[in-house]
């Protein structure tokens, strides 16, 4: 049996041999060390290094496989194996191993690993680009016969298939209703009342501007995480007026004072098919985002409702991402999206951006389902309050 002192001495000899680039000497000492400690993954890594120095790349890969058999999540072993496979068989063969390594890469790697990690990312990205171009050429997804929606959906599937994009699903934090497709932005043809809403843009903006002049103090920070609760991605915006709101309806309750100051907007909301859920919906609000401010990625409460955005004050470029789709707001254009899918917003302009946000039902739900969902959500609240 080898003592601790003997193991230390053997390791020192191995390191010295590797430092002077003498793989033969290193391998001789490694054989002795491995006989004493066959389950030491670090010795397998050192053996791989020595074999690599000697030019035996296949042997080095085998040594790394031995290390990974002992420690499957050994990042250095996995990254080293990918590098060897790249030398032996090219970037395509190495890409799956690089991808696996990157999934377990340390958040703050030591400086010595910065360049290899950057290289791994470059190889994965190049391979994905090449695969995407190859598939596009072979499949013919840009065929003029395809309608716009089909072309866009297939293009997204292609990016997901190549690993260039992730597949976003509903991540509803309150209620995820089953068998509803995760559609980032819904086809505006599903909302025949959009033209009426869009035609009212100037009127709504006029009432908003009056509120901004006279009642700006009534805009409150949207994020108000209770003290002691984890703020997570909201640390920067928690109780911060850089993202603030003015509610006309809140959780199904009409804000009478606010609606009195925006009578035309309130009357329009009464006519539109908003989500009507006792104690839950609609919420109708002016959402103000300060200059050069970002709302971080997050997901909303349920996929049973959609949110509608109508831009009112748009001083410059401002964009919105839902899943893999990014759009820039345009004056006079509304859209409906599923906010239970990961989304974020950025105001790139040097002045305030304000949009109107309203709740509507997911149009794929039947009237019966809407009623049942409302009763179910209220019943849960009753259960926990009794």
Secondary structure tally for the chain: helices H, strands E: 13, 11
Tokens of 172: 């509803």
Closest CA to 201 of 330, 66, 78: 330
pLDDT tens-place values along the chain, 386 residues long: 344 556 777 777 877 887 888 888 888 888 888 888 889 899 999 899 889 999 999 999 999 999 999 999 999 999 999 999 999 999 999 999 999 999 999 989 999 999 999 999 999 999 999 998 898 888 865 566 778 888 888 889 989 999 899 999 999 999 999 999 999 999 999 999 999 999 999 999 999 999 999 887 789 999 998 887 888 899 999 999 999 999 999 999 999 999 999 999 999 999 999 999 988 999 999 999 999 999 999 999 999 999 999 999 999 999 999 999 999 999 999 999 999 999 999 999 999 999 999 999 999 999 999 999 999 999 998 988 87
CA distance 333 to 199: 9
Is there a contact between 80 and 113 (Cβ–Cβ < 8 Å)? Answer: no
The strand pair at 318-322 and 343-347 is best described as antiparallel
Is there a contact between 344 and 296 (Cβ–Cβ < 8 Å)? Answer: yes
Tokens of 196: 């009426």
- pLDDT of 6 reads 67
* 150: enclosing H helix or E strand: helix 148-162
CA distance 226 to 224: 6
Is there a contact between 257 and 224 (Cβ–Cβ < 8 Å)? Answer: no
User: Nearest 5 degrees, angle CA 90-CA 95-CA 98?
Assistant: 120
Domain boundaries, the chain: 4-130, 188-385
CA distance 89 to 86: 5
Q: Is the pTM here over 0.75, yes or no?
A: yes
Backbone angles phi, psi at 39, to 5 degrees: -100, 15
Closest CA to 361 of 300, 278, 277: 277
Question: What's the CATH architecture for 188-385?
Answer: Sandwich (2.60)
CA distance 110 to 76: 11
The strand pair at 293-298 and 343-347 is best described as antiparallel
Residue 5 DSSP SS3: helix
Residue 146 DSSP SS3: coil
Residues making up the chain, counted from first to last: 386
Domain 4-130 class, CATH top level: mainly alpha
Fill in the DSSP letter of residue 250. Answer: E
CA distance 251 to 68: 53
CA distance 156 to 80: 32
CA dihedral 243, 246, 249, 254 (to 10 degrees): 150
- pLDDT of 210 reads 95
Measured CA to CA in angstroms, residue 312 lies from 66, 183, 343, 356 at distances of 62, 25, 20, 7
Q: Which value, in Å, is the radius of gyration of the alpha carbons in the chain?
A: 29
- pLDDT of 141 reads 55
Closest CA to 41 of 59, 61, 63: 63
The count of other CB atoms within 10 Å of the CB of residue 75 is: 18
- Measure CA of the first residue to CA of the last residue in the chain; give whole Å: 68
Residue found under tokens 């004050």: 313
């Amino acid at each position: 049996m080898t003592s601790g002192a003997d193991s230390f001495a053997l390791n020192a000899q191995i390191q010295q041999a590797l430092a002077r680039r003498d793989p033969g000497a290193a391998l001789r000492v490694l054989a002795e060390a491995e006989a004493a400690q066959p389950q030491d993954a670090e010795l397998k890594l050192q053996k791989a290094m020595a074999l690599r120095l000697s030019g035996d790349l296949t042997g080095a890969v085998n040594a790394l496989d031995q290390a990974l058999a002992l420690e499957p999540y050994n990042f250095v072993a996995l990254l080293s194996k990918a590098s060897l496979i790249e030398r032996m068989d090219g970037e395509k063969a190495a890409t799956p191993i690089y991808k696996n390594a990157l999934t377990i890469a340390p958040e703050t790697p030591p400086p010595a690993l910065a360049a290899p990690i950057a290289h791994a990312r470059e190889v994965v990205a190049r391979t994905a680009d090449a695969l995407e171009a190859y598939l596009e050429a072979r499949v013919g997804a840009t065929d003029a016969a395809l309608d716009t929606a089909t072309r866009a959906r297939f293009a997204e599937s292609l990016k997901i298939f190549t690993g260039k994009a992730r597949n976003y699903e509903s991540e509803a934090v309150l209620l995820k209703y089953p068998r509803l497709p995760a559609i980032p932005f819904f086809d505006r043809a599903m909302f025949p009342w959009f033209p009426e809403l869009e035609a009212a843009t100037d009127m709504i903006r006029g009432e908003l501007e009056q509120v901004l002049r006279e009642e700006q103090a009534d805009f409150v920070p949207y994020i108000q995480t209770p003290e002691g609760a984890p703020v997570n991605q909201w640390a920067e915006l928690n109780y911060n007026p850089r993202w603030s709101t003015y509610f006309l309806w809140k959780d199904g309750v009409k804000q009478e004072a606010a609606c009195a100051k925006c009578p035309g907007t309130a009357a329009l909301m009464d006519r539109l098919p908003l989500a009507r859920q006792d104690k839950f919906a609609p919420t109708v609000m002016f959402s103000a985002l300060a200059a050069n401010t970002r709302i971080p990625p997050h997901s909303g409460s349920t996929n049973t409702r959609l949110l509608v955005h109508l831009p009112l004050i748009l001083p410059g470029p401002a964009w919105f991402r839902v899943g893999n789709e990014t759009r820039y707001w345009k004056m006079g254009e509304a859209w409906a999206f599923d906010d239970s899918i990961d989304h974020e917003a950025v105001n790139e302009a040097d002045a305030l951006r304000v949009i109107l946000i309203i709740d509507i039902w997911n149009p794929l739900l039947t009237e019966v389902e809407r009623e049942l969902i409302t009763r179910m959500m209220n019943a849960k609240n009753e259960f926990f309050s009794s």
